[in-house]
Amino acid sequence: MILGLGIDVCDIERFGASLDRTPELRDRLFTAAERDRPLASLAARFAAKEALAKALGAPVGLAWHDVEVVSESSGRPRLAMTGTVADACDALGVASTHLSLSHDAGIASAVVVLEGS
């Protein structure tokens, strides 16, 4: 059963300008493992975190570092969740998550599906 669906898009150039204008934003939004990725990848990861929040119903108090986009050995992206984000998933009854990322023509996008048991 699908419990939540979220989608987000991010203008890569605009996102890069925000990171340049506010250098501490990179540390606030991304885990140490994510921070040094190329700009398009960072924009897609930001979109994934936003899409996940939307799929969860945008509960108050989610911490940016409590979700990380990691790549499986195949290259497939997945969400690794801890703390506030894992708690929100547990409260909703999420058994599995699905993530799709894309970036093309200056736009990064992400779709998140939350599935219950």
* Domain hosting residue 6, numbered range: 2-116
Give mean pLDDT, residues 82-111: 97
pLDDT band at 93 (very low <50, low <70, confident <90, very high): very high
Is residue 14 very low, low, confident or very high in pLDDT (cuts 50, 70, 90)?
very high
- With a cut of 90, say whether residue 97 has pLDDT above it: yes
CATH number of the domain encompassing residue 112: 3.90.470.20
- pLDDT score recorded for residue 117: 86
Phi-psi region of 93 (alpha: psi -120 to 50; beta: other; left: phi over 0): left
Chain segment 48-59, per-residue pLDDT in tens = 999 999 999 998
Task: Reduce the DSSP state of residue 101 to 3 states and report it.
Answer: strand
Q: Which of 110, 98, 113, 99 is nearest to 41 (CA)?
A: 110
Q: How many domains does the chain have?
A: 1
Are 8 and 108 in contact by the 8 Å Cβ rule? The answer is no
Share the mean pLDDT of the chain: 97
Which pLDDT score, from 0 to 100, does residue 11 have? Answer: 98
pTM, two decimals, is 0.95
Residue 115 burial (10 A CB sphere; 0-12, 13-18, 19+):
middle
Q: Does the pLDDT at position 96 exceed 90?
A: yes
